Amino acid sequence: MAIEDRIEAIEAKMKEIIENATFDVTLKSVILGQRERSSDFQPPLIQIVGDESDIDSISAGISEEWALRYVIVSVIESYEHKDGKKIAEKLALQASSELFKDRSNRTLGGLCRTIRRTRWIPTRETVVNNTNVFATGAEVTVEFTNKEVC
């Protein structure tokens, strides 16, 4: 499988897993990638954002070890600071945990060798239209070997 096809399949599988999960909060959207602010997407939502990744060549250019990083961001609206922060944190943890829930998810249906949670991004609060908006992130790293090195 070509590297760009594998990355696209990994992202689609993560989105599918999170869309099909059951959370304490009913999600309005699961967004893949970074998008401009838009009224089309309203909280509560999950956003899957790609981050910088590591690539290590092994076996004299025959294959590469890839470590793709993604941040699973939860976005919540709340009038209460304490409640909004807590809900955003719980949702980010639940969404990232869905990727580890069973054995087939841990390899994203065989697309990767492993997926693991690697970083926590604290809650950020902003005010939009007189409403508090809370965003929290949980970073996951997806590791696989690419054997189609040019």
In this structure, what token pair is assigned to residue 21? Answer: 């999960």
Higher pLDDT pick, 130 / 86: 86
Q: Report the pLDDT averaged over residues 128-142.
A: 92
Q: What is the homologous superfamily of the domain 3-146 according to CATH?
A: Phage minor tail protein U (3.30.70.1700)
Whether the predicted pLDDT of 37 surpasses 60: no
Give me the pLDDT at residue 35, please: 59
Q: Which residue ranges make up each domain of the chain?
A: 3-146
Residue 150 — very low, low, confident or very high, per pLDDT cuts 50/70/90? Answer: low
d(CA 69, CA 53): 6
Whether the predicted pLDDT of 106 surpasses 80: no
- Report which of 10, 119, 125, 7 is spatially closest to residue 72, judged by C-alpha positions: 119
d(CA 9, CA 13): 6
Whether the predicted pLDDT of 28 surpasses 70: yes
d(CA 52, CA 90): 25
Q: Which residues lie closer than 8 Å to 17 by C-beta, 6 or more apart? A: 98, 99, 101, 105, 108
pTM of the model: 0.88
Higher pLDDT pick, 79 / 70: 70
- CB contact burial 89-106 (16+ within 10 A = b; e otherwise): bbbbbbbbebbeeeeebe
pLDDT over 70 percentage in the chain: 90
Three-class SS state of 80? coil
**Burial environment of residue 5 by CB neighbours within 10 A (0 to 12, 13 to 18, 19 or more):** exposed
Give me the pLDDT at residue 59, please: 62
Give me the pLDDT at residue 101, please: 82
